[in-house]
Amino acid sequence: MNKLIAPYAIAFALTLSGTAFAQDTTTPAEESPEVTTDYDLDTVVATVDGVDITVAHVIAVRDRLPENYRSLPPEVLFPGLVDQLIDQQLLAEAAKETGAAETRRVRVQLDNERRGVLSNETIASVLEDAVTEDKITSAYEALTAEMTRTTEYNASHILLETEEEALEVVAALNDGGDFETLAQERSTGPSGPTGGELGWFGPGQMVPEFDAAVQSLEVGTVSEPVQTQFGWHVIVVNETRLSPLPPLEQIRPEIVGQLNQDALQAHIDSLREGADITTPEVAISPEAITTLDLTNE
C-alpha cells in the first residue's frame, strides 16, 4: 500500500468498525438525519469546536483511499469518512494543546505534504495533454523503426533413418517428385502426415545442423541430406520473412508511460532552467539522513 495513503486507510478502517458497531446498537430513529439532495462542495457536514468540515473535505479524503475502500457503497463510505474527519480534527486540536504542532518534525512534514499536494496538481496538469493518439502513433513508428528484425523461415523436411534413404528421396525430388507426397510416404518424423511442414521458426530454434542448412538454402531449393541427432533430413524452405513487429496495442502501455515520463521531465527541466537554485559549496554527508533524528526536536 502506498505510504502516503496508509494512514488514511488505517484510520478509515477503524472508523468503519465504529460505524458498523453504532449501526448495530442504535434505534432506527437515531440512525441518521433526514437525507437532503440540496448540497454542494461547500455544504457543511460537521462542525468541531467551531471548525467546519465540508463535502469537499470528505471527497478529498475519499479520493486518497485505496480502491477497495472507494468501491464501498456510498451509504457506508460517506458516514465513515465524516466520522474519520471529525476524529482527525479532534486529534489535531489535541496536538496543538500538547505543543506537538510546533515541533520541527510536524512542521517539516506539513511542509512536505503541502509541497507534495501542489506538485501533484502540476503533474496532473502536464500529463493531461502529454498523450494523444497522434503522439502514440508517431512514437510507435519511431520505436519499431529501431527494432532489430531477424529472418524467419517456413520450412518442410523429410526425416529418414539412413543417408542412403535420404539420397533416394533427394533423387526422387530432383526427378519431379512431390515433396508433400514423399514426406507422407517416407518421413519417420511427426510432421510426416502433414507433408513435413514445420511452420515458422527463427534462427537458433532448431538444432545447429538443421539451422545452418535452412539458413544456407534458397527458397524452393531442396537440400542435400543433413544429419542431426534425430536422423537424416531432406529440407526445403517454403518461404522467408522478417520477424513480425509487435502490434501497437501490445506495447501501448509502454509508449504511454514513456510519453508521460518525457513530458514531465521536459516540464521539470524547463522549470529548473527558469529557477534560481543554489546548493551549498560544501556537500552535506549522506549519513545525515541516518544520524540526525527529527523526533529529538
Q: How far apart are CA 253 and CA 249, in angstroms?
A: 8
pLDDT tens string 71-84:
999 999 999 999 99
Q: Is 202 left (phi over 0), alpha (psi -120 to 50) or beta?
A: beta
pLDDT exceeds 50 at position 93: yes
User: What is the pLDDT averaged over residues 166-180?
Assistant: 96
Side chain identity, residue 217: L
CATH number of 151-242: 3.10.50.40
pLDDT tens string 230-262:
999 999 999 999 999 999 999 999 999 999 999
Contact indicator for 136, 248 with CB cutoff of 8 Å: yes
Where are any strands of DSSP class E within the chain?
44-48, 51-54, 151-160, 197-201, 226-228, 231-242
pLDDT tens string 37-62:
889 999 999 999 999 999 999 999 99
C-alpha cell at 149: 528484425
Q: Quote the pLDDT of residue 22.
A: 43
The separation between CA 146 and the C-alpha centre of its own chain, rounded to angstroms, equals: 23
- Start-end of CATH 3.10.50.40 domains in the chain: 151-242
Report DSSP state, residue 219: T
Q: Quote the pLDDT of residue 33.
A: 67
- Give the CA distances from residue 194 to residues 8, 178, 197, 213, 284, in Å, rounded to whole numbers and listed in that order: 64, 13, 6, 21, 73
pLDDT exceeds 50 at position 25: no
Q: Which residue has the higher pLDDT, 15 or 194?
A: 194
Q: How far apart are CA 4 and CA 271, in angstroms?
A: 25
Q: How confident is the model at residue 5 (pLDDT cuts 50, 70, 90)?
A: very low
Q: Quote the pLDDT of residue 296.
A: 67
User: What is the pLDDT averaged over residues 184-203?
Assistant: 96
